[in-house]
Amino acid sequence: MNVVQIITALLPIFAQAAPLLVRDIANLIHGNPQDPNETDDAYIARIGSLVDANVKKIIDEDADIQKG
């Protein structure tokens, strides 16, 4: 059993006991870290742009799926 399997097995337990911890792990995996010198406003603007870019990508790919 490797580390990933152990964590995977434990995640449902944490999901019940500490959803915020699970969310933090997800954040860590996905990673949108705030730069140490980045202001709050700059960070919010940067990841806001990421959300906008994500929406565009999803709509484009959905169009392919719906027509395919």
Partner 1 sequence: MIRKRLILLPLLLLIACRHNINTNNPKVVFAALLADASNVTVSVEDGLTTANRVLETIQTSEPEYYNRVKPLIRKISAANVTAALKIQAAKNGGADDWRGALLAVAASVNPNDLRAVGLRNPQTQSVISAAIAGLITVLSSIPDKFGGVR
x/- mask, partner 1, residues 29-68, rule CB under 8 A, reads: -xxxxx-x-x-x--xx--xx-xxx-xx-xxx-xx-xxx-x
Give the Cβ contact number of residue 43 at 10 Å. Answer: 14
CB of residue 9 to partner 1, shortest distance in Å:
11
Q: Does 6 bind partner 1 (CB under 8 A)?
A: yes
Sequential DSSP letters for 7-63: HHHHHHHHHHH-HHHHHHHHHHHH--PPPTT--HHHHHHHHHHHHHHHHHHHHHHHH
Binding residues (CB under 8 A) for partner 1: these are 1-3, 6-7, 10-12, 15-16, 19-28, 30-34, 36, 38, 40, 43-44, 47-48, 50-52, 54-55, 57-59, 61-62, 64-66, 68
